[in-house]
Amino acid sequence: MEEDLLARSCLYVPAHKPRMIEKSLSLPADIVIYDYEDAVPPSMKIESRSILNEVLPSLPPPNSSRRYIRINHPRHTELFHDDIDAALYLNVEGLVIPKMETKEQVISVSKEISSLEQRHGIDIGSTKLIVLIESPLGLVNAYSICSADCRILAVQFGGEDYSREMGLPLVRTGEDKELLYQRAGAANAASAANVQATDVIWTALDDLDGLRLEAAQARRLGFTSKAAVHPSQIEIINSAFNPTSEEIAYSREVINVLEKAIDEGTGVVNHNGVFLEEPVIARARRTIALAQRFGLEL
């Protein structure tokens, strides 16, 4: 996992909405995903490319979010190739690929991107991918999808399309309990492939307490980030995936105690009733690294 590219929040912004695009430039999301796909009505899909090209600055403003574009699925042959072509003009970090179900699909998409990178004079392989797993078949093949290509930065579980295919109730219970197994499986597959894991969107825009609970749950399941669909969700999500001040302080304490024990010739130590060994100090070091990555007080 590329720690320097680690993200907590990924905000979706419709590519055909100029005011939303403009507002996104000053929002605190780690990644903004400009959407050519589900957020755009069919009649606006082609025009959305021109709108985004006109409104999105060619150079990102200082300290602004990293930029991705969600393109339409390869089965939409009238859109797919031109979506990638338009996206590569926009100086974005990467693309979001919806509804991947097999590693062969991912490899095919990557080859198409390589061809267009060459045409644009972009270093082949430099365009990152966030891949969406949104179906039962995709979940079955989750690890092979997550590990299919070195472009993959993160894998996001898409709960809405998955629920549709499974015929799940339209109204979910709190913290997405219907999808607990599926979300945990996607996070585990991403971790096994050493890529970031992004949790489902929270659709109840007025229920920020519910979002807070689900984001905390997502972190406990092993997700490293969560998708957002409204600016009000960003700070809550960022906070959920930040190490807390207590975690930072305890991590520093653990590192000091265990390093002292190693210097004294002891590989493990009982510290205040807690058994410490190398895996514990590795987690503590990662906590400190995350705090530094996100500019938290140390």
In a domain, 298, yes or no: no
Name the DSSP class of 178. Answer: G
**Buried b / exposed e along 277-297 (16+ C-beta atoms within 10 A):** eeebbeebeebbebbebeeee
Same domain for 259 and 143 = no
Same domain for 175 and 137 = yes
User: Which spans in 121-269 are helix H?
Assistant: 136-140, 142-146, 159-166, 180-192, 208-221, 234-241, 245-263
Same domain for 230 and 183 = yes
Q: In this structure, how many other beta carbons lie within 10 angstroms of the beta carbon of residue 46? A: 16
Q: What does residue 194 show for φ and ψ, rounded to 5 degrees? A: 65, 40
Q: What does residue 182 show for φ and ψ, rounded to 5 degrees? A: -65, -45
Same domain for 23 and 126 = yes
212-230 mean pLDDT: 96
Domain housing 264: 245-293
In a domain, 40, yes or no: yes
Non-local (6+) Cβ contacts of 29 within 8 A are 9, 10, 11, 65, 228, 234
In a domain, 138, yes or no: yes
Same domain for 224 and 273 = no
Q: Give per-residue pLDDT as tens, 120-176.
A: 999 999 999 999 999 999 999 999 999 999 999 999 999 889 998 988 877 666 667
Angle between helices 208-221 and 234-241 (to 10 degrees): 30
Same domain for 174 and 68 = yes
Tokens 């597959």 correspond to 189
Q: Give per-residue pLDDT as tens, 40-91.
A: 999 999 999 999 999 999 888 888 999 999 999 999 999 999 999 999 999 9
Rounded to two decimals, the pTM is: 0.91
Tally the domains of the chain: 2
Same domain for 253 and 212 = no
Same domain for 111 and 253 = no
Q: Give per-residue pLDDT as tens, 235-283.
A: 999 999 998 888 888 889 888 887 777 777 776 677 776 777 777 778 8
